[in-house]
Amino acid sequence: MIVDKYRPKNLSDLVGQEAVIERLKIWARNWDDGIPQKPILLYGRPGCGKTSIAHALANDMNWEIFEINASDTRNKGAIESILANTATQSTLTGSLKLIVVDEVDGLAGQEDRGGVGAIVKVIQESRQPTILIANQVYIQKLKSLLPETEMIEMKGVEKRILRKYLKQIAEKEGIQISDPQIDEIADRSNGDVRSALIDLTATVTYRDREKDVYRAVAQVFKAQDYQAARSAFWDVDIDPDMQILWIEENIPNEYQNKEEMKQAYEYLSRADVFNGRITNRQSWNLLRYATELSTAGVASARKSSSSKFVKYKFPTYLQKMSYTIASRAILISACRKIGERMHLSSKEVLSQLRLIRPFILKNPEFYKLEESEIKSIQSYR
């Protein structure tokens, strides 16, 4: 995934965080010079480089890193004892170990009880450079922790910088994208580099898909026999409603004869009726009929032979919402992965998504979901 590929390895790989980097460098040099420093509490919005900056710092300083994720309750007990042991060890070799406690705001339990109390105790006794990371810090749970730390806020990356960065990545990846599209992604991201990168690749995935759809549309209209028409959309990942939109848009391009056109629309509207029943009653067994009508049916409307070249068009209706489609593509791929595990079709998963979502989000690894897919499930309405 693109965010893994471009995970900053060195501090110089990070964009838009110069001020924070400078503070961290001074802090780190002091440690190296044998002057212990207060633990740092790095906080701020998602996807701006908090976890990355901690790793990059350890890397640039040639420090070992010891990282735990505080919101991982599976090893809550372990967290506390490992942390205590590691942090209070004075290193015999003299080399320092950076202790990173990520997502401290995700700690279970109340202030003083459970995790937070343990962390406070550890950092008071710590002899190792320690960085704590959180999205939110002004919450009751963390009240006793704040005074023990040097708090550094990490802001979202400025739009101007983000645009430049996205452009660079697009160039490296051979992604063809216009400046206004880059601007739109940067605007929407609100300084979240991770989500901007995901959006950048979503436009490509969507475009690849689009090529398949053009091919399928051509196959329906130019089919020599029903079987060819019927199978046109088999390996194309769009839902039945979209399929109809695509065919509908292109009927007037393909059929000039009024009779043919009328016939083709007729089949299409019957397909649409079936689609309505499919979505309303979840009768997926009807899908075969709907597809048959919108492909083989539409193809059969042709009476004259056609060899003219037709430039197929993108549905006007969809043009206005291409980003929604990009995210839709991600959602569909998530549903397919979940379906594989649950032995359901992706469509069945989608229809039950609100119901089963809490279970899925508890264990997204089980379904092999990528970050973008998890997000699309979270935001599904």
Ligand X SMILES: Nc1ncnc2c1ncn2[C@@H]1O[C@H](COP(=O)(O)OP(=O)(O)OP(=O)(O)O)[C@@H](O)[C@H]1O
Stretch that binds ligand X, among 10-18, 56-64, 236-244, 257-265 (CB under 6 A): 10-18
Q: Which is nearer to Mg ion, 37 or 135 (CB)?
A: 135
Query: What is the three-class DSSP state of 130?
Result: strand
Q: How many residues contact Mg ion, by CB under 5 A?
A: 2
**Among 24, 27, 50, 333, which residue sits at the site for ligand X (rule: CB under 6 A)?**
50
Which of ligand X, Mg ion, none sits in contact with 216, Cβ below 5 to 8 A by type?
none
- The amino acid at residue 144 is S
Looking at 46-54, 206-214, 229-237, 274-282, which segment touches ligand X (CB under 6 A)? 46-54
DSSP state of 100: E
Select 51 or 219, whichever has its Cβ closest to Mg ion: 51
Closest separation in Å from C-beta 46 to Mg ion: 7
| Near ligand X by CB under 6 A: residue from 27, 28, 52, 166 | 52
Nearer to ligand X, 3 or 70 (CB): 3
* Residue 351 contacts which entry, ligand X, Mg ion, none (Cβ below 5-8 A, type-dependent): none
Give the shortest CB-172-to-ligand X separation in angstroms: 13
Which residue of the chain is nearest ligand X when measured via CB? 49
**Minimum distance of ligand X from residue 142's CB (angstroms):** 15
Query: Which structure tokens are listed for 3?
Result: 């965010």
Residue choice 27, 28, 40, 47 for contact with ligand X (CB under 6 A): 47
Contacts of 101 (CB under 8 A, 6+ apart): 67, 68, 69, 70, 83, 119, 130, 131, 132, 133
For ligand X, the binding residues in 138-177 under the rule CB under 6 A are 157
Residue 163: name the closest of 174, 153, 171, 155 by CA: 171
As a whole number of angstroms, the distance between CA 291 and CA 299 comes to 12
Residues 6+ apart with CB under 8 A from 39: 123, 126, 129, 130, 131, 132, 148, 149, 150
> Which of 197, 242, 298, 350 is in the footprint of ligand X by CB under 6 A?
197
Question: Which region among 11-19, 47-55, 63-71, 106-114 touches Mg ion (by CB under 5 A)?
Answer: 47-55
Q: How many residues does the chain have?
A: 381
How near is the Cβ of 164 to ligand X at its closest, in Å? 11
279 class by beta-carbon count within 10 Å (0-12 exposed, 13-18 middle, 19+ buried): middle
Mention every residue, 6+ apart, whose C-beta is less than 8 A from residue 62.
95
Instruction: Summarize the chain as % helix, strand, coil (round to 5).
Output: 65, 5, 30
Point out which residues bind Mg ion (CB under 5 A).
50-51
